[in-house]
């Protein structure tokens, strides 16, 4: 066969087999699927960012003075940071596979993704969506605790002045707390700063900064909600 015959051969093949071009709806569907993936990854990236902001803002940064640098490395939300980067990478990959996606430079696509996810992620955080999703995942996916820092163990160090648990009973100057290891403490609160979001009532989960007086008595300097805004709230 010489090239002069290829056109004729292909034309004959199309005629004889009666093949037709694939329907335009198939391609529209394919295009829609790609754009859906681009938008989905952008949204999931935004949710990851909202959770990162939530975890960073609500982190008890002031514990640094008690627990030093190890505390910072322990509490950085690596899982969500990696997830944020991975979803940006996926989004970039699928955007490139759209009809004109290849024309844009990698750095430009990533910059646009950062800006858009930055805006959406901040909006989701401000709307409380980041917090809700994070708590939903924490409550329903047991494996989540394996990839996040162990907040329970940080707040189960009464000898370092860190205690957390659920209020069992409330008195005038004291209240009773069942800590995360199921040990009951009497907490002296007469000189404690109690943050405005704390509702000192039975069933409330709280964090307490202070000092251990004996095996059952803890002197509170400050009482915080379990899911609070840390130092920021105090200001």
Least Cβ distance, residue 42 to other proteins (angstroms): 20
Least Cβ distance, residue 17 to other proteins (angstroms): 10
Asked whether position 93 contacts other proteins by CB under 8 A, the answer is: no
Least Cβ distance, residue 113 to other proteins (angstroms): 16
* Residue with smaller CB distance to other proteins, 67 or 112: 112
* Residue with smaller CB distance to other proteins, 13 or 153: 13
Stretch that binds other proteins, among 98-106, 132-140, 174-182, 198-206 (CB under 8 A): 98-106
Token digits of residue 196: 């405005």
Asked whether position 106 contacts other proteins by CB under 8 A, the answer is: yes
* Residue with smaller CB distance to other proteins, 69 or 106: 106
Stretch that binds other proteins, among 54-62, 101-109, 186-194, 227-235 (CB under 8 A): 101-109
Closest to 228 in 3D by CA, of 193, 191, 202, 184: 193
Asked whether position 111 contacts other proteins by CB under 8 A, the answer is: no
Give the burial string for 98-114 (b: 16+ CB within 10 Å, else e).
Answer: eeeeeeeeeeebbeebe
- Contact partners, residue 185, CB within 8 Å, separation at least 6: 158, 163, 165, 176, 177, 178, 179, 216, 217, 218
Q: Which residues are paired to 25 by β-bridges?
A: none
Could you give the CA distance from residue 102 to residue 92 in angstroms, rounded to a whole number?
A: 10
Could you give the CA distance from residue 53 to residue 88 in angstroms, rounded to a whole number?
A: 17
x/- mask, other proteins, residues 14-53, rule CB under 8 A, reads: xx---xxxxxx-xx--x-----------------------
Half-sphere exposure of 34 (CA within 13 A, CB side): 15
Least Cβ distance, residue 110 to other proteins (angstroms): 13
Q: Is 62 helix (H, G, I), strand (E, B) or coil?
A: helix
CB 59 within 8 A of CB 155: no
Asked whether position 99 contacts other proteins by CB under 8 A, the answer is: yes
Stretch that binds other proteins, among 9-17, 60-68, 117-125, 162-170 (CB under 8 A): 9-17
Angle at 47 between CA 110 and CA 58, to 5 degrees: 115
Could you give the CA distance from residue 199 to residue 29 in angstroms, rounded to a whole number?
A: 53
* Residue with smaller CB distance to other proteins, 26 or 141: 26
x/- mask, other proteins, residues 127-166, rule CB under 8 A, reads: ----------------------------------------
**What residues line the site for other proteins (CB under 8 A)?**
1-4, 6-11, 13-15, 19-24, 26-27, 30, 96, 99-100, 102-106
């Amino acid at each position: 066969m010489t090239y002069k015959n290829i056109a004729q051969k292909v034309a004959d093949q199309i005629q004889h087999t009666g093949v037709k071009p694939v329907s335009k709806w198939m391609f529209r569907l394919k295009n829609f699927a790609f754009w859906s993936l681009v938008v989905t990854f952008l949204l999931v990236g935004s949710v990851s960012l909202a959770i990162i902001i939530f975890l960073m803002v609500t982190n008890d940064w002031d514990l640094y003075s008690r627990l030093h640098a190890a505390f910072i490395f322990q509490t950085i939300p690596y899982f969500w940071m990696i997830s944020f980067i991975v979803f940006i990478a996926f989004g970039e990959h699928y955007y490139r596979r759209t009809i004109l996606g290849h024309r844009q430079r990698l750095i430009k696509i990533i910059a646009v993704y950062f800006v858009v996810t930055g805006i959406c992620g901040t909006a989701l955080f401000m709307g409380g969506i980041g917090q809700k999703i994070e708590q939903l995942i924490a409550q329903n996916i047991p494996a989540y605790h394996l990839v996040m820092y162990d907040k329970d163990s940080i707040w189960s160090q009464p000898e370092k002045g860190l205690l957390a648990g659920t209020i069992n009973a409330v008195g005038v100057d004291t209240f009773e707390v069942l800590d995360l290891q199921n040990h009951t403490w009497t907490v002296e609160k007469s000189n404690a700063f109690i943050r405005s979001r704390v509702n000192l009532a039975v069933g409330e989960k709280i964090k307490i900064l202070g000092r251990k007086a004996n095996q059952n008595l803890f002197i509170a300097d400050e009482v915080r909600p379990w899911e609070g805004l840390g130092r920021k709230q105090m200001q």
